[in-house]
Amino acid sequence: MNRDYGARPTPAYPGAADPAELTALGIGRLPGTLGIKITGALHGRIEAEMPVVPAVLAPNGYLHAASVVALADTAAGFGCRLSLPSGAAGFTTLEQKTSYVGTARTGTVRTVAVLVHGGRSTQVWDAEVFDDDGRRIALFRCTQLLLWPK
């Protein structure tokens, strides 16, 4: 079976991107599988949400740590993708860290990812993840290496 696993093009980005276009890029990939929806996209800021359903829970019935990372990393990744300097070919993750300060069992979890460093070779993104009641449940930071054509 021949499948196309190639990169998908980034929508035009005149300062704000259409959240529905970004959400559609995740269909058939991990973000789509987890039900991640982009709810806001401005330069240097991405907002996203994910329903808390059995598929994103750990066996103990609480939100799986990897699900939290997937939500925050998806938001930061779309933010990086949309904030690439002119001529950059893409990016890849160098490092990430998550601190968990709460959890969820139901509802929807939301994240806000913001660009804290936008250099020529790296970007650093911070994200906070919140439960339905607006309580912070995780702090996330990632560093992205920007890729340039050879």
CB 87 within 8 A of CB 13: no
Q: What pLDDT sits at residue 5? A: 52
The two tokens of residue 99 are: 């601190």
Span between the terminal Cα atoms of the chain, in Å: 31
Q: How confident is the model at residue 8, as a pLDDT?
A: 57
Q: Which residues of the chain have pLDDT under 70?
A: 1-16
Whether the Cβ atoms of residue 137 and residue 129 lie closer than 8 Å to each other: yes
> CA–CA separation, 65 vs 63, rounded Å?
6
The pLDDT of residue 43 is 86
One-character DSSP codes across 14-77: SSB--HHHHHHHTTTSHHHHTT-EEEEEETTEEEEEEE--GGGB-TTSSBPHHHHHHHHHHHHH
What integer pLDDT is reported at residue 17 of this predicted model? 86
